[in-house]
Structure 1
């Protein structure tokens, strides 16, 4: 579940932009079930595609600043926090569970533009 709210608030010829996002987490789940495979070792090798997600709040704040009819400045700041708590293994056929492809980076993004 994801809920987002945003608003552009006019202040004279300028605008203030606000937004907030909420993403509901998920307990551990198996993304896809793949049978154990034989890679020539004594035991079959399992392939894990398990993930879990945490609750996340992201927000943004921006402004449009009027300079003239031909020039405006745009600036903003936003977060992009990742909900993944345990990442899916890409294709774990080595039997080593520490080799996950961790794609759970958080981002904080400032923006400044002129038009």
Structure 2
């Protein structure tokens, strides 16, 4: 949350919805990958004011009994970012967060990520 709101670049271009404060469950590599991906998506000055909406959670799947992990769903929705203009470094960064599916919606990119994190009940 603070990394986005306190950044001049990200604060202007990124909207974060994380009602359950689930971003705090991400590991350092996952968090770095997510921030890098969002930064790269909105920092391309050749595009007309790209923006991103980042939604984290809610956790909807009930973990198996004894499971040490839960899956946190993340969605990145962009404007002014066509899929065919996404740099390979962005896909690498998203891959650090978790398994993902990408699609095009309203001529812009949508990425759904399954982020596996340590179950907070086990911490």
Quickly name the TM-score band, shorter chain normalised. 0.3 to 0.5
Looking at CA atoms only, which structure, 1 or 2, has the larger radius of gyration?
A: 1
The structure with the greater share of residues assigned to strand is 1
Larger RCO (alpha carbons 8 Å, 6+ apart): 2
The structure carrying a bigger helix percent of its residues is 2
TM-score normalised over the length of structure 2? 0.32
What TM-score, normalized to structure 1? 0.33
